[in-house]
């Protein structure tokens, strides 16, 4: 029994699906927009919910918001958000293209509240997805079951949940209360005692790891933090304007139509434009903090570069990490109280997508240029994947740089399919 039926169901009210909702509202397809629902597992919309640090900034221009590069006249732009909140003058006076992260998070919640046709359903977490078929086996849509037991049927499904957090194997046997991934930081760190001299160890050398390393100095004021990284040291993102052209929406076509080996080489070469690097202004702030500690004789923090964790175990109430120096090969233990993982995300498809692929009998998860999952059969219903197609659509696919244009690609595909399939599978509504 289906509790609710819609045309389009989008899982996850992050930037990707909010951009899609705006594109649907602005498409002119009123009935389709009115029959679209976005599911959000939390009671509100927050961008990078657990890294909303008060000083953290976006590394991407505010002009790459949910809509501006597709429709500069849209009322859903970041600048219109500031205007409606009477904050435009103050923001302009900052003389920056890079807003604070909390400000972009507020903008996205404002967009969700400003939608007039597409609905956002909060406190709705997806438990499973099952294909719906006619009696003769033709695929007509999807049944999504939520954790509260309710079900929603839809013709088209858009998955925009992002990738799953990466927990390296070496840390998986530690108790869960001693390991905090960056996707849990703000919530979990607030539960820790602030009146004890804790020894947190941050793992990783990219932006999220460095942000946790910086934040823990304030969040755990009596702590003595250490950051451990395999690389030779913290380093800048590549910020060349020439390299940044790889984030243009127009580059997606060029990348998608390249040979697989060419795409692989490009991704290897642009690794430092998004991964394993830090925003230059933040890197300067972090270095200045460590400089002041040294010069004032108040050294509280430790940076362990060229070091990898080869073992992790509990001894009594302590976490013991086995650290290997990559220069000398020497292994020595480090005792600590909690491990903070800035280890990024799994490169494979999210579990929700893998599970659906198994149900469909798909060996590989492949998408079209317009982000539609290749089902290998003629189907009335479709699945679109957002933010997980880096291998075929380029490094920008996991970022906000192409959100506006990607959402238009998906809306165009949905509308084109409805035009082509008019009168086909007429029994699909009741299948």
Three-state SS for 298-328 is: CCCCEEECCEEEEEEEEECCEEEEEEEECCC
The pLDDT tens digits of the residues spanning 224-250 come to: 999 999 999 998 877 778 888 888 889
The pLDDT tens digits of the residues spanning 171-211 come to: 999 999 999 999 999 999 999 999 999 999 999 999 999 99
Neighbour tally for 232: CB within 10 Å: 11
Radius of gyration of the chain (CA): 23
CA distance 109 to 95: 24
Res. 327: pLDDT tops 50? yes
Is 102 buried (19+), middle (13-18) or exposed (0-12) by CB count in 10 A?
middle
CA distance 4 to 133: 17
Element (DSSP H or E) covering residue 7:
strand 4-11
Output the CA angle 233-49-345, nearest 5 degrees.
50
What lies within 8 Å, CB to CB, of 189 at 6+ separation is 180, 215, 216, 219, 220
- What percent of the chain stands above pLDDT 90? 85
Residue 26 has a pLDDT of: 97
Is the separation of the CB atoms in 133 and 139 below 8 Å? Answer: yes
The pLDDT tens digits of the residues spanning 376-421 come to: 877 899 999 999 999 999 988 988 889 999 999 999 999 999 987 6
Residue 426 has a pLDDT of: 46
Three-state SS for 202-238 is: EECCCHHHHHHHHHHHHHCCCCCCEEECCCCCCCECC
Q: Do domains 4-164+346-429 and 169-237+274-341 have the same CATH topology?
A: yes
Residue 272 has a pLDDT of: 63
Q: Is CATH 3.50.50.60 correct for 4-164+346-429?
A: yes
Indicate the average pLDDT of the chain.
93
Res. 160: pLDDT tops 80? yes
The domain limits of the chain are: 4-164+346-429, 169-237+274-341
Average pLDDT, stretch 94-100? Answer: 95
Residue 165 has a pLDDT of: 96
**Residue 371 CA: distances (Å) to CA of 85, 147, 275:** 35, 27, 23
Is the separation of the CB atoms in 125 and 352 below 8 Å? Answer: no
Three-state SS for 144-166 is: EEECCCCEEEEEEEEECCCCCEC
Res. 424: pLDDT tops 70? no
Phi-psi region of 12 (alpha: psi -120 to 50; beta: other; left: phi over 0): left
Residue 421 has a pLDDT of: 64
CA distance 78 to 88: 10
Residue 429 has a pLDDT of: 40
CA distance 210 to 219: 14
Is the separation of the CB atoms in 109 and 45 below 8 Å? Answer: yes
Nearest to 157 by CA among 133, 134, 141, 139: 141
Query: Rounded to a whole number, what is the distance in angstroms from the first to the last CA of the chain?
Result: 11
CA distance 293 to 225: 13
Is the separation of the CB atoms in 388 and 396 below 8 Å? Answer: no
The pLDDT tens digits of the residues spanning 335-350 come to: 999 999 999 999 999 9
Buried b (16+ CB within 10 A) or exposed e, 159-170: bbbbbbeeeeeb
CA distance 357 to 297: 57
Q: Which sign does the torsion angle of CA 420, 423, 429, 431 carry?
A: negative
CATH assignment, 169-237+274-341 = 3.50.50.60
Residue 236 has a pLDDT of: 85
* Beta strand residue intervals within 33-99, DSSP E: 36-39
What are the respective helix, strand and coil percentages of the chain, to the nearest 5? 35, 20, 40
Is the separation of the CB atoms in 101 and 58 below 8 Å? Answer: yes
Q: Are strands 139-146 and 126-133 parallel, antiparallel or unpaired?
A: antiparallel
Nearest to 114 by CA among 60, 72, 78: 78
Residue 126 has a pLDDT of: 96
Res. 167: pLDDT tops 90? yes
Q: Which sign does the torsion angle of CA 5, 6, 7, 8 carry?
A: negative
CA distance 338 to 326: 23
CA distance 344 to 322: 21
């Amino acid at each position: 029994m289906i509790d609710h039926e819609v045309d389009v169901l989008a899982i996850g009210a992050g930037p990707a699906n909010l951009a899609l909702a705006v594109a649907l509202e602005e498409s002119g397809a009123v009935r389709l927009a009115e029959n679209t629902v976005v599911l959000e597992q939390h009671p509100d919309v927050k961008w990078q919910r657990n890294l909303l640090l008060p000083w953290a900034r976006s590394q991407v221009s505010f002009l790459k918001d949910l809509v501006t590069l597709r429709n500069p006249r849209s009322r859903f732009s970041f600048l219109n958000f500031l205007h409606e909140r009477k904050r435009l003058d103050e923001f302009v006076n900052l003389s920056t293209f890079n807003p604070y992260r909390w400000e972009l998070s507020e903008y996205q919640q404002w967009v969700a509240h400003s939608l007039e046709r597409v609905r956002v359903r909060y406190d709705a977490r997806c438990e499973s997805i099952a294909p719906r078929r006619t009696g003769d086996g033709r695929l007509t849509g999807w049944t999504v079951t939520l954790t509260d037991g309710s079900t929603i049927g839809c013709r088209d499904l858009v998955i925009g949940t992002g990738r799953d957090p990466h927990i390296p194997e070496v840390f998986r046997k530690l108790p869960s209360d001693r390991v905090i991934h960056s996707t849990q930081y703000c919530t979990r760190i607030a539960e820790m005692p602030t009146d004890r001299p804790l020894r947190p160890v941050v793992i990783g050398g990219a932006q999220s790891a460095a942000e946790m390393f910086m934040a823990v100095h304030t969040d755990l004021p009596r702590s003595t933090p250490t950051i451990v990284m395999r690389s030779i040291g913290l380093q800048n993102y590549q910020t060349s304007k020439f390299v940044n052209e790889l984030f243009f929406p127009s580059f997606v076509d060029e990348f998608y139509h390249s040979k697989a080996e060419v795409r692989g080489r490009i991704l290897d070469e642009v690794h430092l434009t998004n991964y394993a690097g830090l925003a230059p202004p933040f890197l300067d702030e972090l270095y200045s903090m460590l400089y002041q500690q040294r010069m004032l004789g108040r050294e509280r923090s430790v940076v362990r570069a060229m070091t990898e964790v080869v073992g992790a175990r509990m001894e009594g109430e302590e976490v013991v990490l086995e650290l290997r120096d990559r220069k000398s090969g020497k292994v020595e233990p480090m005792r600590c109280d909690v491990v903070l993982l800035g280890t990024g995300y799994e490169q494979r498809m999210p579990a929700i997508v893998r599970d659906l692929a198994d149900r469909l009998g798909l060996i590989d998860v492949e998408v079209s240029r317009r982000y539609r999952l290749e089902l290998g059969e003629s189907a009335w219903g479709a699945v679109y994947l957002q933010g997980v197609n880096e291998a075929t659509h380029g490094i920008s696919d996991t970022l906000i740089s192409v959100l506006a244009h990607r959402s238009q690609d998906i809306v165009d595909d949905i509308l084109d399919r409805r035009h082509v399939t008019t009168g086909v599978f007429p029994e699909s509504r009741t299948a």
